[in-house]
Amino acid sequence: MTKRALIIGGGIAGTVTAMALRKAGLDPVVYEAYDRDSDGVGAFLTLAENGLAALSVLDLDLSRLGMDTPAMVMISRGRQLATAPMRARTVSRSDLYGALRDEAVRRGVPIEYGKRLVDATVTPSGVQARFADGTTADGDLLVGADGLRSRTRAIIDPKAPAARHIGLLNTGGYARGLRLSGPPGVAHFVFGRRCFFGYFIHPASDVWWFANPPARREPSREELLAITGRQWRERLNDLFADDPGPMLDIIAATEHIVPAWNTYDFPRVPTWHNERMVLVGDAVHATSPSSGQGASLAIEDAVVLGRCLRDIDEPAAAFATFRHLRRERVERVVAQGRRNGNGKMAGPVGAAIRDLILPVVMRRIAAKDAQGWMHNYRIDWDESAR
């Protein structure tokens, strides 16, 4: 009998998991807390080579979205420290979510909006989800793809650890009509004296950018929301006032600066599943945005979970295999993201050491393909998960 899978969350992990489970012969339904277009406004992200490869297993081609990112350049005090080739794609979050949701629906996956999971229980025949609007849904299994603040995680393990604040805020925007010289699509990463800045020159003229103001203490959501756009502009102008580079021009050409938000990671989530429920994506291994891997790991999870549920009949056994196949890799990426983030927060001495060491490290990484473990990861759909 076809298994019904309740997928909580219609973000990246949820929509891609739904498509992978459908390919695996299950019957998935997605339940998303918000309305169709409420997520992802403003920000963008880079899908790494491994994430794009995992999408291609499901015949998902996003080459019409965003821009190719063929390389990264690291810059400090106006000097280029290092460059490295990449095979990535930089896309706006709202475009990405929209495209994945449209494609899931096109492939026959129902998506129900305004369905916020509040509780779920294992029943004698499967699992029952309960939503904030008072409705329920029954299935054979439930996938918690509900992001960093996952309700499913707390249901599976009420003692699950809280996410770790990583001492960086994130803000950014799109600078319109600014002509910068430089290769299109390339990730320019600037270690400013007081703040890290990233920018990408879109081939059609805009400049997409983000900044990571340091925050030693975790500000509350209310504190962050109380900071106006004008105050952010002043703060960023101040943070980059002494740095060479196009940062001030980019900020000036940006009409709307996205309000800053906190960033977090999870070094380790001990419990990934119970008999009928399992976690994927940020819900189980959020990584610092500095890894550039959060979305790609979520996509990999989806495809690997699809294989496990295709080949292993008992959900609990399929979930255990999924965790076994994924845990070491995702924890390694989270640790790498943490290290990358630390480099963004160096003081004057640390920055001087970083500027000396980084070019050597980057040359070594390139020569030995030392990050190949992260980017060259490929999933063979035809291989048995058993």
Ligand X SMILES: Cc1cc2nc3c(=O)[nH]c(=O)nc-3n(C[C@H](O)[C@H](O)[C@H](O)COP(=O)(O)OP(=O)(O)OC[C@H]3O[C@@H](n4cnc5c(N)ncnc54)[C@H](O)[C@@H]3O)c2cc1C
For the chain, the farthest-separated pair of C-alpha atoms sits apart, in whole angstroms, at 65
DSSP symbols for 13-65: HHHHHHHHHHHTT-EEEEE-SS-TT-S--S-EEEE-HHHHHHHHHTT---TTS
In sequence order, what are the residues at sequence separation of 6 or more whose Cβ sits closer than 8 angstroms to the Cβ of residue 315?
A: 3, 140, 141, 275, 276, 278, 309
The Cα angle at residue 272 between residues 301 and 324, in degrees rounded to 5:
65
Which residue, 291 or 352, has its beta carbon nearer to ligand X?
Answer: 291
Residue 300 as a binder of ligand X (CB under 6 A): the answer is: no
Which residue, 38 or 353, has its beta carbon nearer to ligand X?
Answer: 38
Lateral strand order in the sheet of 117-123: 117-123, 126-131, 136-139
H helices, E strands: number in the chain: 12, 16
Which string of x and - marks every residue 128-147 that binds ligand X (by CB under 6 A)? -----------------xxx
Residue 32 as a binder of ligand X (CB under 6 A): the answer is: yes
Stretch that binds ligand X, among 19-27, 275-283, 342-350, 356-364 (CB under 6 A): 275-283
Residue 278 as a binder of ligand X (CB under 6 A): the answer is: no
Residue 296 as a binder of ligand X (CB under 6 A): the answer is: yes
Stretch that binds ligand X, among 41-49, 70-78, 224-232, 249-257 (CB under 6 A): 41-49
Q: Are 193 and 351 within 8 A, CB to CB?
A: yes
- Interatomic CA distance for residues 86 and 283, integer angstroms: 27
Strand residue runs (E) in the chain:
4-8, 27-31, 44-47, 67-76, 79-92, 111-112, 117-123, 126-131, 136-139, 141-144, 164-175, 187-191, 196-201, 207-212, 258-265, 277-279
Judge residue 49's burial from the number of C-beta atoms within 10 Å of its C-beta, 0-12 exposed, 13-18 middle, 19 or more buried. Answer: middle
Which residue, 115 or 310, has its beta carbon nearer to ligand X?
Answer: 115
Stretch that binds ligand X, among 11-19, 157-165, 247-255, 316-324 (CB under 6 A): 11-19
Residue 354 as a binder of ligand X (CB under 6 A): the answer is: no
Site for ligand X in 161-180 (CB under 6 A): 170
Q: Which one of residues 5, 18, 26, 39 is an interface residue with ligand X (CB under 6 A)?
A: 39
Here the tokens at position 141 are: 């299994």
CB of 274 to ligand X, least distance (A): 17
Stretch that binds ligand X, among 3-11, 77-85, 223-231, 312-320 (CB under 6 A): 3-11
Q: Which one of residues 294, 315, 337, 343 is an interface residue with ligand X (CB under 6 A)?
A: 294
Stretch that binds ligand X, among 12-20, 56-64, 160-168, 233-241 (CB under 6 A): 12-20
Q: Are 243 and 216 within 8 A, CB to CB?
A: no
CB of 257 to ligand X, least distance (A): 14
Q: What is the CA radius of gyration of the chain?
A: 21
Residue 34 as a binder of ligand X (CB under 6 A): the answer is: yes
CB of 211 to ligand X, least distance (A): 11
Q: Which one of residues 10, 28, 337, 343 is an interface residue with ligand X (CB under 6 A)?
A: 10
Residue 282 as a binder of ligand X (CB under 6 A): the answer is: yes
Which residue, 179 or 221, has its beta carbon nearer to ligand X?
Answer: 221
- Interatomic CA distance for residues 212 and 14, integer angstroms: 27
> Which residues form the interface with ligand X (CB under 6 A)?
8-14, 31-34, 39, 43, 45-46, 115-117, 145-147, 151, 170, 281-283, 289, 292-296, 298
